[in-house]
Amino acid sequence: MDGTPRWALPLLFAGQAQKEIQHNEALALVDALLHGQVESADLSAPPGAPAVGQCWIVAAGASGDWSGRAGSIALWTEGGWRFVAARSGIRVAAADRDHALFFDGAEWRSEAIRSAGLFIEDERVVGPQRAAIAAPGGGAVIDVEARSTVADILAALRSHGLIAS
């Protein structure tokens, strides 16, 4: 076996010359994966002037140096592009989306918890907190007040996406 079973990190062998090459390659890949962050998952061609250490998830229709690498994590190093094939369960923060992405074994998906709320099947079901609904108080006709409060509760639940409109 030339690499580790999960991430294909290069292994060292007894008597191997220039072990530092394999070791440094493994460290570069670990650096990209450990608490990973990608710049974007929407590019299908390499960016023009990447900085060393920046990563991208290669989008479908990959071209140029990324040709044939769709779905992989592309890492720019001093020696050029390094690629890591996605494995089920990996999570990376996506800088241009302000939330994390995870690989489910077949495709990259957005995390459920995002700054805009809680999403299920990419549909928001809980959004930003709304203003509190005032408790009923006073009033001579309780039924009107109760109906108004129930209507406010329903409106709040609808705006959060917890019940259908």
Span 117-153, pLDDT tens digits? 888 888 888 888 777 776 677 777 778 888 888 888 8
Contacts of 8 (CB under 8 A, 6+ apart): 84, 85
For the chain, the domain total comes to: 2
Q: 127 lies in which domain range?
A: 113-159
41 and 106 both lie in a single domain? yes
Residues 44 and 106 placed together within one structural domain of the fold: yes
Q: How far is CA 120 from CA 49, 87, 107, in A?
A: 36, 22, 16
In a domain, 4, yes or no: no
At 148 the pLDDT is 85
Percent of the chain past pLDDT 70, that is, above it, reads 96
Which residue would you say has higher pLDDT here, 111 or 115? 111
Which range, 1-5, 24-28, 33-37, 81-85, is most confident?
Answer: 81-85
Give pTM, 2 decimals.
0.69
Q: Would residue 62 count as lying in a domain? A: yes
- Residue range 37-87, pLDDT digits in tens: 999 999 999 999 999 889 999 999 999 999 999 999 999 988 899 998 998
pLDDT of residue 135: 65
Q: Assess whether 85 and 119 both reside in one domain.
A: no
Q: Are residues 70 and 133 in the same domain?
A: no
Statement to judge: residues 82 and 123 lie in one domain: no
Q: What is the pLDDT of residue 37?
A: 92
Residue 122 lies in a domain: yes
* Same domain? 122 vs 102: no
Nearest CA among 140, 134, 138 for reference residue 152: 134
Boundary of a domain, candidates 87, 110, 133: 110
Whether 137 and 97 map to the same domain: the answer is: no
If asked whether residues 117 and 88 sit together in one domain, one would say no
